[in-house]
């Protein structure tokens, strides 16, 4: 007998307590800027700890691009409380600088002057640094300064067993379930961009002399009138020829890993022309389509924690998928920590819907390309009156399909409320309906209205909000014990980095060779 979404939902409804075991975590990026909103030229503050080894605060691409990382939590409230506390800790250290609370960058210096993140002289630190040098060669530094919020989500083994009792192996059950979730996410994630996209504009200086389709809102601001998220548009990585050959559409973990393995081992002519060294220094880790697995840019990834020096492909092949990382959320410029509680709760319900709903395989019929096209059109013109999307070959309006999806997500929001108490998830879902009926209520439309009504540029508006959030966060000091814990973690991270630097027993060339050799083809023992 065929298992259906309805029967899977019914099994979850019989065991709602399983959803209290859901784990979620956040990685939130944000540029450090000076008082004028220009990219900070200072080194990563020592008081924040070592970026290589601090579990709470690190850097992403640039030395000035902070990444604030939470642990995993079984409720949204402590998750966001930790994220806010980490912001408060950062502000207790920053001197004359702000966290730019917007996905599209602040005023950047010339490409050559954007500082690449530095992680010290250990082989581990140098690998991270050289990888980022390679990103500069391949995509340019400015593009690497775009920031976002990554939402990590996992269900318990008991929940997966309830959803898929017919698969005897817990590892296979998890991996199959997460890949099915990703297929549905690929189909429906256009809705997230409509509801939460908050980057319809950017500073004119960001585009430089590059050709673009953007319009002028004022002398300093470019935008698209109906865009939701220029960050997720083809202004970025999706326009890269090497990345373009990596398709999101895969039906099983094995196919995904085979494609990823191919990308990190297949030479790419343009990158071969650059080479790995210049003037005797490493400038990229190799000349393949991807230097390492992390270079794969997508709106969602299957993930697994790795050990030091372990390759993600190998970890996923050997131990399966542990969680998914959603990467398409823009920073919410209205929130001091960059994400609202309603957004997190909606993400939980939406991802559970994706995990539970029927998720047919992608066939060679263009279905996946239609999903990609829907996503692309919504990020660039999602609020356009009369906009139609392609659902199974039939045209459907954004509001009509959006409300249908919210109706389908509603039972999963109710399940989380039943598991955790209260009605916060139902209210979070209900709040999204107004955006479908009134596009002016979306974050992207509200941002453009604020710019127009205030006669203010994107840069000045973003700086103004970032200052306000800094004041809000600083106004409530960390409890003494929490502040002491952050400070001790920072101190310990410096010691950990020093230990790594003192215990390296091979030169960097040998270390890189060993790192590449540690990559195993999927299925290879």
What average pLDDT does the chain have? 95
| Region of residue 280 (left: phi > 0; alpha: psi -120 to 50; beta: else) | left
Task: Give mean pLDDT, residues 216-222.
Answer: 97
pLDDT at 523: 78
In a domain, 260, yes or no: no
In a domain, 299, yes or no: no
CB burial class (10 A; 0-12, 13-18, 19+) of residue 273?
exposed
Alpha helix ranges (H) inside 320-437: 341-356, 367-381, 398-420, 424-437
Task: Give mean pLDDT, residues 291-318.
Answer: 92
Q: What confidence category does residue 1 fall into, taking pLDDT thresholds of 50, 70 and 90?
A: very low
In a domain, 494, yes or no: yes
In a domain, 245, yes or no: no
β partners of residue 395: 390
Provide DSSP, 371-396.
Answer: HHHHHHHHHHHTT-TT-EEEETTEEE
Q: What confidence category does residue 411 fall into, taking pLDDT thresholds of 50, 70 and 90?
A: very high
Per-residue pLDDT tens digits for 70-111:
999 999 999 999 999 999 999 999 999 999 999 999 899 999
The reply to whether the predicted model has a pTM over 0.95 is yes
What is the chain's length?
A: 525
Neighbours of 287 (CB within 10 A): 18
Q: What confidence category does residue 525 fall into, taking pLDDT thresholds of 50, 70 and 90?
A: low
Task: Give mean pLDDT, residues 463-472.
Answer: 98
Per-residue pLDDT tens digits for 7-34:
999 999 999 999 999 999 999 999 999 9
Beta strands 215-218 and 277-278 are unpaired
DSSP state letter for 397: E
Q: What confidence category does residue 364 fall into, taking pLDDT thresholds of 50, 70 and 90?
A: low
Q: Considering its fold, how many domains does the chain have in total? A: 1
Strands (E), 43-145: 57-59, 65-69, 98-100
In a domain, 122, yes or no: yes
Beta strands 57-59 and 98-100 are unpaired
3-state secondary structure of 60: coil
Q: What confidence category does residue 248 fall into, taking pLDDT thresholds of 50, 70 and 90?
A: low
User: Percentage of residues in the chain with pLDDT exceeding 90?
Assistant: 90
Per-residue pLDDT tens digits for 190-215:
999 999 999 999 999 999 888 899 99
Task: Give mean pLDDT, residues 213-221.
Answer: 96
Per-residue pLDDT tens digits for 260-269:
999 999 999 9
In a domain, 493, yes or no: yes
Q: Cα separation of 81 and 425, whole Å?
A: 18
Domain that holds residue 84: 5-157+187-235+324-517
Q: Encoding tokens for residue 215?
A: 């319009």
Return phi, psi of residue 31, to 5°. Answer: -75, 140
Task: Give mean pLDDT, residues 360-383.
Answer: 87
Please give the radius of gyration of the chain, using alpha carbons only, rounded to the nearest integer. 23
Provide DSSP, 126-158.
Answer: HHHHHHHHHHHHHH-TGGGG---EEEEEE--HH
Q: What confidence category does residue 368 fall into, taking pLDDT thresholds of 50, 70 and 90?
A: confident
Q: Mean pLDDT check: name the lowest of 78-87, 289-298, 403-412.
A: 289-298
Query: CB under 8 Å to 164, separation ≥6 — which residues?
Result: 3, 173, 176, 177
β partners of residue 68: 28, 57
Say which CATH number the domain at 366 has: 3.30.590.20
Per-residue pLDDT tens digits for 53-65:
999 999 999 999 9
User: Percentage of residues in the chain with pLDDT exceeding 70?
Assistant: 97
Per-residue pLDDT tens digits for 126-177:
999 999 999 999 999 999 999 999 999 999 999 999 999 988 899 999 999 9
In a domain, 288, yes or no: no
Task: Give mean pLDDT, residues 216-245.
Answer: 84
Q: What confidence category does residue 249 fall into, taking pLDDT thresholds of 50, 70 and 90?
A: confident
In a domain, 67, yes or no: yes
pLDDT over 80 (residue 480): yes
pLDDT at 238: 46
């Amino acid at each position: 007998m065929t298992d259906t979404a309805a029967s899977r939902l019914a099994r979850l409804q019989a065991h709602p307590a399983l959803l209290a075991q859901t784990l979620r975590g956040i990685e939130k990026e944000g540029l450090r800027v000076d008082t004028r909103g220009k990219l900070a030229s200072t080194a990563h503050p020592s008081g924040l700890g070592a970026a290589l080894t601090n579990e709470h605060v690190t850097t992403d691409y640039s030395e000035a691009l902070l990444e604030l990382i939470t642990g995993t939590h079984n409720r949204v409230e402590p998750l966001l409380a930790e994220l806010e506390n980490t912001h408060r800790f950062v502000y207790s250290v920053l001197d004359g600088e702000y966290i730019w609370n917007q996905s599209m960058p602040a005023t950047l210096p010339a490409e050559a002057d954007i500082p690449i993140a530095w992680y010290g002289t250990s082989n581990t630190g140098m690998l991270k640094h050289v990888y980022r040098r390679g990103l500069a060669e391949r995509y340019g530094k400015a593009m690497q300064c775009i920031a976002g919020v990554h939402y990590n989500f996992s269900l318990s083994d008991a929940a997966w067993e309830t959803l898929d009792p017919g698969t005897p192996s817990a590892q296979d059950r998890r991996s199959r379930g997460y890949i099915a979730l990703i297929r549905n996410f690929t189909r429906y994630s256009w809705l997230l961009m409509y509801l939460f996209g908050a980057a319809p504009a950017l500073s004119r200086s960001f585009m430089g002399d590059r050709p673009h389709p953007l319009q002028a809102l004022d002398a300093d601001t470019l935008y698209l009138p109906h865009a939701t998220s220029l960050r997720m548009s083809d202004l970025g990585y999706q326009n890269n020829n090497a990345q373009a050959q990596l398709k999101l559409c895969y039906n099983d973990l094995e196919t995904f890993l085979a494609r990823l393995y191919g990308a990190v081992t297949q030479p790419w002519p343009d990158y071969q022309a650059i080479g790995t060294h210049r003037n005797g220094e490493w400038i990229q880790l190799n000349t393949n389509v991807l230097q390492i697995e992390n270079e794969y840019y997508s709106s969602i990834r299957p993930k697994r924690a790795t050990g030091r020096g372990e390759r993600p492909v190998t970890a996923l092949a050997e131990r399966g998928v542990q969680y998914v990382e959603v990467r398409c959320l823009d920073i919410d410029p209205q929130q001091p920590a960059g994400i609202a509680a309603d957004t997190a709760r909606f993400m939980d319900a939406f991802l559970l819907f994706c995990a539970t709903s029927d998720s047919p395989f992608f066939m060679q019929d263009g279905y996946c390309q239609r999903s990609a096209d829907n996503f692309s059109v919504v990020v660039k013109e999602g609020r356009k009156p009369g906009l139609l999307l392609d659902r199974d070959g039939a045209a459907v309006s954004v509001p009509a399909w959006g409300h249908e999806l919210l109706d389908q997500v509603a039972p999963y929001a109710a399940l989380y409320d039943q598991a955790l108490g209260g009605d916060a998830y139902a209210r979070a879902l209900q709040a999204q309906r107004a955006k479908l009926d009134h596009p002016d209520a979306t974050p992207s439309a509200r941002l453009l209205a604020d710019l127009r009504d205030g006669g203010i540029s994107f840069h000045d508006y973003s700086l103004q909000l970032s200052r306000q959030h800094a004041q809000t966060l600083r106004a409530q000091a960390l409890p003494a014990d929490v502040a002491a814990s952050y400070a001790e973690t920072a101190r310990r991270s410096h010691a950990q980095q020093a230990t790594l630097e003192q215990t390296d027993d091979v030169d960097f060339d040998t270390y890189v060779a060993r790192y590449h050799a540690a990559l195993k083809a999927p299925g290879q023992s």
